[in-house]
Amino acid sequence: MHRVCIQVDDMAISELCSNFRDLLFRSNPVPMFLYDGPSLLILRANDTALAKYGYTSKEFRTMSIRDLCPSGTASESDAVPPAGDRSSSQCLQIHATKGGKHFTVECRTVQFPDKRRKLFMLSAVEAPEQSGERLKLINCMEINRSLVEECPFGIARFNLTTSRHEHANPALLEMLGCTLKEFRRMGLAAFGVDPTERERFMVELRRSGKVRDFESSLRNKNGEILRVSISGYLGTNVATGHEYVQAYILDVTAQRNLEEQLSRAQRMEAVGRLAGGVAHDFNNITQSISLCCELALSHELPLETRSKFLDIMQQSARAADITRQLLAFSRRQVLQPRLININVCLRNALPMLSRVVGPDVSLELQLDDTVESIFIDPDQLTIVLMHLATNARSAMPHGGGLRISTSHSGDSGQNEDMRPGPCAVLTVSDTGVGMDEQTLQRIFEPFFTTRESAFTSGLGLATVHGIIAQSKGRIECQSTLGHGATFRIYLPTGALPSVPALTAGNNSHRILLAEDDPHINEHLTNSIKKAGFLLDSVCNGDKALAIFDRQRHHLLVTDIVMPKLGGIELMKRLRRKAPSLPVIFISGYSEEASALQHVSHNQTAYLQKPFPSSQLITAISNLLAQKIETTADD
């Protein structure tokens, strides 16, 4: 026996192996596909696959391995085994031919040995016809998969036996800002804010087997805190016997924020209603007190007695200011806006603001002279400046700097209460201690304060917010701890008709006064007569109508709220007889005062109680002068 030795080099052996693998691939009776792992693009299909599926080699090279499954039953995990895993991966799929015929196949995927690329080999063996039940199972699995994958809220499954997170749907991954691989590595607990919440959830789950609407907080990958509602149940895998938790996670952050805004608005509404209910009677009392003091001070009094009366008036004014603040932050105060130059208003307020902040705080104005005029109640704007200055002074106990500036903005921003268009921007910045995020969220709440003082009402910034909102503007604040605070107020600009300047009237005119409070009626009667006007005073609207029919009157002064016939209805009835009758409304405040916005401002004025008698006399003189000027023009 002779042994024959054939010498073959390594290159020849490699080529021989390659040809052998190629032969096995091409001539295999089972449809086979070679595809790229990262892209899932088909690189090659054997002859059996070409015949079975009806596509050409060129057509296959334009397709993905998933295109073999028109029903979408194939997933990346079905097509590609885990990285580094060379063992086979099997699954049941539905494939379709080019002509649209569907058939069930057993798919087996293995990683192809290639050092340069990550390639995979897929073989598709057609399942026997009797596997119809398996096909129904596939359809059922597809329905369940789509329900989970396309669900708009988060779904996760945790294996309690192996302590492994098995799955999380795309909605949950998007909510947390992570990938499935990151989620499986970190787990849902890693995104929790309070560890005790997870413990309470599991205790409830163990107790009843299911949990409904368990509220918790999660921190996503970007560091944002989310409020979530979690429902779930405890189950057992029938195949493995492993215990698992299936959780359904709904992001309720936006809903909770809206609820908090609504709750805050309702609290302000409740305090506002309380203020409105008290204000009318309270201001009538302070009006009577102040007018009594005025009457007493009009006589010669000892210095000590005069000083006491002045103290009473000062305390009465302070009580009235608190009521105004309550009405202002609740947006129930009747404003008297007019067109003003904001820079002029700031320059006029500078001495007052300097006294408010004190000598340790430097006050700087940076005013843009190109800013257009704004339409606002100037007295209320002064109150806004005073409160912001007081707030800044408290934030700088050891001194600092306060800068007030104006600028022009072409856009008022997103605000439903503010008309779109150009606006003036009032910026107030301090170098104080600043605020944390929690404090910043509450600064405009009524009665909220960080200062422990008996003289602090907690209404300052709430009043500012109410005045600005009622003036169709908006206010925002930016602040961080240790870096001061900046308030920006946006107010609409634009010219509006202004009332002509008025001069003192002729004291021979006859005035009709309708006021139901006997003390106020008496004091106003004395003040008007003392000013030289002729006067008829009554205590209700019905008597005013009767006396107007008997005597001609040049002007009406009326309280808004009176028994039977109120001031607004009285004005309407009298103007049917005298259309040009000037009217001055006075009120301590009531819900009906808001009806003044529907009353023509022509030859009308409004005075909020308490007011000094001199203010009433000035208003009477101005309206009479306006009437004389109008009559002369006609």
pLDDT per residue as tens digits for the range 313-359: 888 877 776 666 666 555 555 566 677 888 888 888 888 788 888 88
Q: Are residues 158 and 122 part of one domain?
A: no
- What pairs with residue 92 in β-bridges? 106
Quick one: pLDDT at residue 58?
92
Q: Are residues 388 and 482 part of one domain?
A: yes
Cβ atoms of 524 and 610 closer than 8 Å: no
R_g (Cα) of the chain, nearest Å: 41
Residue after which a domain boundary falls, among 130, 159, 178: 130
Residue 562 pLDDT greater than 80, yes or no: yes
Cβ atoms of 406 and 380 closer than 8 Å: no
Question: Is there a domain that residue 45 lies in?
Answer: yes
- Angle 518-530/253-297 helices, nearest 10 degrees? 60
- What pairs with residue 362 in β-bridges? 401
Question: Is there a domain that residue 425 lies in?
Answer: yes
Q: Are residues 408 and 311 part of one domain?
A: no
CA-CA distance, 207 to 203, in Å (whole number)?
Answer: 6
CA-CA distance, 475 to 477, in Å (whole number)?
Answer: 7
Q: Are residues 401 and 518 part of one domain?
A: no
Phi/psi of residue 287, nearest 5 degrees: -65, -45
Average pLDDT (459-463) is 74
Confidence label for 429 from pLDDT (cuts 50, 70 and 90): very high
Question: Is there a domain that residue 232 lies in?
Answer: yes
Question: Is there a domain that residue 440 lies in?
Answer: yes
Provide the 10 A C-beta neighbour count for residue 121: 17
Q: How many domains does the chain have?
A: 5
Q: Are residues 342 and 488 part of one domain?
A: yes
Q: Are residues 628 and 602 part of one domain?
A: yes
Higher pLDDT, 178 or 462: 178
- pLDDT per position as a tens digit, 358-369: 888 898 999 988
Q: Are residues 478 and 365 part of one domain?
A: yes
Confidence label for 18 from pLDDT (cuts 50, 70 and 90): low
The residue range of the domain holding 321 is: 266-327
Question: Is there a domain that residue 257 lies in?
Answer: no
Q: In what order do the strands lie in the sheet with 510-514?
A: 534-538, 510-514, 555-559, 583-587, 604-608
Residue after which a domain boundary falls, among 492, 524, 546: 492
- pLDDT per position as a tens digit, 367-409: 988 888 888 878 788 888 888 888 888 888 888 999 999 998 8
Quick one: pLDDT at residue 335?
60
End-to-end CA distance of the chain: 144
CA-CA distance, 552 to 543, in Å (whole number)?
Answer: 14
- pLDDT per position as a tens digit, 260-274: 878 877 776 776 677
Q: Are residues 520 and 410 part of one domain?
A: no
Q: Are residues 390 and 412 part of one domain?
A: yes
Cβ atoms of 370 and 410 closer than 8 Å: no
CA-CA distance, 611 to 437, in Å (whole number)?
Answer: 41
Residue 89 pLDDT greater than 90, yes or no: no
Q: Are residues 168 and 125 part of one domain?
A: no
- pLDDT per position as a tens digit, 470-482: 788 889 989 888 8
Q: Model-level pTM greater than 0.85?
A: no
Question: Is there a domain that residue 195 lies in?
Answer: yes
Between vectors from CA 537 to CA 533 and to CA 539, what angle results, nearest 5°? 155
Q: Are residues 458 and 529 part of one domain?
A: no
Residue after which a domain boundary falls, among 130, 160, 184: 130
Residue 130 pLDDT greater than 70, yes or no: no
CATH number of the domain bearing residue 82: 3.30.450.20
Name 173's Cβ contacts closer than 8 Å, sequence gap at least 6: 179, 180, 183
Quick one: pLDDT at residue 257?
82
Higher pLDDT, 445 or 251: 251
Phi/psi of residue 483, nearest 5 degrees: -130, 25
Confidence label for 76 from pLDDT (cuts 50, 70 and 90): very low
CA-CA distance, 454 to 547, in Å (whole number)?
Answer: 51
Q: Are residues 126 and 155 part of one domain?
A: no
Residue carrying structure tokens 């819900």: 591
Q: Percent of the chain at pLDDT above 70?
A: 78
- pLDDT per position as a tens digit, 518-559: 888 888 888 888 888 999 999 888 999 999 988 889 999 998
User: What is the full DSSP assignment across 528-592?
Assistant: HHHTT-EEEEESSHHHHHHHHHHS--SEEEEES--SSS-HHHHHHHHHHH-TT--EEEEES--GG
Size of the chain in residues: 634
Higher pLDDT, 140 or 178: 178
Quick one: pLDDT at residue 80?
45
